[in-house]
Amino acid sequence: MSVRSHLGPASIVLALLTVALVLAVRQAAPVLGDAAANAGMARIVFINSTLPRMATALLAGACLALSGALFQQVLRNPLASPTTLGISAGANLALVAVTLFVPGLLGFGRDLVALSGSAAAAGLVFLMGARQKFSAFSLVMSGLVVSLWCGALSAVLMLLNERYLVSLFIWGAGSLSQQSWTIPLSLAPKLAIVCVAVAVILRPLVLNELGDAGARALGVNLGRLRVVAVIAAVALAAFVTSAVGVIGFIGLVAPTIARLAGARRAGAQLVWSTLIGSALLFLTDTTLLATAGTFADFLPTGAVTAIFGSPLLLILLPRLKIRHRLMEAPAPVALKPETARRAARIVLPAAILVLAAALFFGRSPDLGFTLMPPDLAGDLMALRLPRIVAAFFSGAMLAVAGTILQRLTGNEMASPEVLGISAGATLGVAAAVFLVATPGLGAQLGFSALGAFGVLFVIFLIAARSGLQPERVLLAGIALSAMVDAVIGVIGATGDPRAIFLLRWMSGSTYSVTVLAAVLAAVLAVALVGAAGLMRRWLDLLPLGASAAAALGVPVGRARLLLLGLAGLLSAVATMSVGPLSFVGLMAPHLARQLGFVRAAPQLLGGALCGGMLMVAADWLGRSLAYPYEIPAGLVSALVGAPFLIILMRRARG
């Protein structure tokens, strides 16, 4: 390794640490220099709170960055990070469930509860990954599915138990505030042990860079290598998450900075990522402490890293070299049109049945299940019909958006949420809640549209410079989504009760749909899905690759731009009516393909029907399960959809 490849990362670490130390010393000076009357207490706070906090920042940053670097190396995926495998979501779910149902267990140790949750999530991901021989794709895919499922379930539990929300939000947003040395002293040896393990597998990791075939030819046992590296990365992330909560973005940003600064080989990547992550979190936290007086509200460090980290990634994006395609595109399956027709004969009646059941069958005030009583028919129709219409067409729009995105990017995990459109809409509503104080439904709609199109504009701006490469668009979307999560996290951790409103909105409830919104959704859905149908040839040819499609007469640049714009518009409209229900956008295209809708046009229509049906069913379950309390349809669809998707995946490839 040349000296030059270390120069860049080293100067970055040095710069970060210098600024951080200046800030830290300025903070410590009054305590160490001054022997005033109050120096006793100030000294105790400095020794037992400020110093351990700094140590925790350094250690947690190192752990997370090393974890992220390991994931990115072993999965050969620049988007991989500790959160991709569902570690934090699993820990979060365990903590939420224990807090609500067996609070006594917390006396046992909050860390232990979170650790078992993340271990369970990781175990589940492993189990699913093992069937696919730990291929990079299957690990990330199962990780995201598990993560979505855990996230949805924790959200449901929190929504039904609002009173505990604040403490869970603080934990989720990752606060580094300390009152003793317990946490840093327990993190340090754990990090040391993992570092030793990583040193042992360093040489095969270097060979892993050659690709599957190359590494195997040199005698590297890829399966075992991945298991060891992933266990190390999972453990690191779990230690941090259970100790101080989710500080997710460091694990994604630090390895990216290291790579951009010139650390290319596996060894240099791991070492410099770790040091950069450590310095980065330390700097963030000292900056936060130095400015703490300026902010009236309590700010958790994890949320702040994400707010500053995600735009950084957006800025770096055009310079990032994407060495590998995200996923191998699924092998094209030759199926006769007969299959699509047979599938349509199943899906169409099923959709009609679900719609009728959702409309006429419901709960009554005495808590039983009942057909619509005739005397209340008018009132109930007026309440249920707009929601069902909006749910159906929004589900359909998300499904079509997902189909377009998956075909456009050749990435099976592309969905409207990954694009960041839903996140933008949520950000718009968050702005509305704080600018207008108590926005009416109209203001909410307006602001969410503004946010959605704002994101669309930013994505175009970033992606246009790089020739609309699908990977860059996805990365931009993920960065934006993380930023929105962070903003919501900050709002939540300040204990502001308006956070509950945002959480509900994010979870995708059809509750506040008006007749006008439902009609609008229906009209726009028909128009936009029709437009997608006109582009079916492009959708059939683009998955073959840019050069092949161009050779067959597809204007690749223009086609990508138009399709991306259409997918964005579809997601924006759907999000405006029923919140960011991204899981349907991920699930319905897969469902349609599994049922036999393989070519673009049938997959668009079949996917739309599946998506609409799923949304309506989810909405009905959400209205009925906890009656008179409501569970948002988006969460229900995620809870029902994730295990379903896993079953389908396993049947298809297992």
Q: Which residues bind other proteins (CB under 8 A)?
A: 38, 41-42, 44-45, 47-49, 99, 103-110, 159, 162-163, 166-167, 170-171, 175, 177-180, 182, 296-298, 362-363, 365, 376, 379-380, 383, 437-441, 444, 493-497, 500-501, 504, 509, 511-512, 627-630
Other Cβ atoms closer than 10 A to 199: 11
| Distance (Å, whole) CA 593 – CA 604 | 10
Looking at beta carbons only, is 460 or 627 nearer to other proteins? 627
Q: Among residues 187, 215, 328, 324, which one has the least CA distance to residue 259? A: 324
Contacts of 31 (CB under 8 A, 6+ apart): 39, 42, 43, 45, 46, 50
| β-pair partners for 611 | none
Looking at beta carbons only, is 113 or 476 nearer to other proteins? 113
Which contiguous run of DSSP H or E holds residue 361? strand 361-363
Looking at beta carbons only, is 389 or 559 nearer to other proteins? 389
Looking at beta carbons only, is 83 or 509 nearer to other proteins? 509
Taking a C-beta distance cutoff of 8 angstroms, is the pair 129, 139 a contact? yes
Taking a C-beta distance cutoff of 8 angstroms, is the pair 431, 643 a contact? no
Looking at beta carbons only, is 40 or 318 nearer to other proteins? 40
Smallest gap, in angstroms, from Cβ of residue 379 to other proteins?
Answer: 5
| β-pair partners for 369 | 363
Smallest gap, in angstroms, from Cβ of residue 313 to other proteins?
Answer: 28
Smallest gap, in angstroms, from Cβ of residue 234 to other proteins?
Answer: 24
Looking at beta carbons only, is 439 or 634 nearer to other proteins? 439
Query: 3-class SS at 652?
Result: helix
In sign, the C-alpha dihedral spanning 452, 458, 464, 469 is negative
| Distance (Å, whole) CA 281 – CA 284 | 5
Smallest gap, in angstroms, from Cβ of residue 177 to other proteins?
Answer: 3
Smallest gap, in angstroms, from Cβ of residue 178 to other proteins?
Answer: 7
Query: 3-class SS at 362?
Result: strand
| Distance (Å, whole) CA 43 – CA 503 | 40
CA angle 418, 420, 424 (to 5 degrees): 155
* Alpha helical stretches, state H, 466-555: 470-493, 498-506, 515-534, 536-541, 546-551
Looking at beta carbons only, is 182 or 291 nearer to other proteins? 182
Helix axes 470-493 and 421-435, enclosed angle (nearest 10) = 30
Looking at beta carbons only, is 338 or 366 nearer to other proteins? 366
What is the biggest distance separating any 2 CA atoms in the chain, rounded to whole angstroms?
88
* Residue at token pair 């129709």: 381
Looking at beta carbons only, is 72 or 178 nearer to other proteins? 178
| Distance (Å, whole) CA 642 – CA 618 | 13
Smallest gap, in angstroms, from Cβ of residue 132 to other proteins?
Answer: 39
Smallest gap, in angstroms, from Cβ of residue 188 to other proteins?
Answer: 18
| Distance (Å, whole) CA 52 – CA 44 | 12
Looking at beta carbons only, is 472 or 504 nearer to other proteins? 504
Taking a C-beta distance cutoff of 8 angstroms, is the pair 429, 491 a contact? no
Looking at beta carbons only, is 5 or 512 nearer to other proteins? 512
Smallest gap, in angstroms, from Cβ of residue 492 to other proteins?
Answer: 10
Smallest gap, in angstroms, from Cβ of residue 228 to other proteins?
Answer: 33
> How big is the chain, counted in residues?
654
Tell which phi-psi region holds residue 468, choosing left (phi > 0), alpha (psi between -120 and 50) or beta: left
Looking at beta carbons only, is 42 or 561 nearer to other proteins? 42
Indicate the residue type of 307.
I
Smallest gap, in angstroms, from Cβ of residue 467 to other proteins?
Answer: 43
Smallest gap, in angstroms, from Cβ of residue 45 to other proteins?
Answer: 5
Smallest gap, in angstroms, from Cβ of residue 380 to other proteins?
Answer: 6
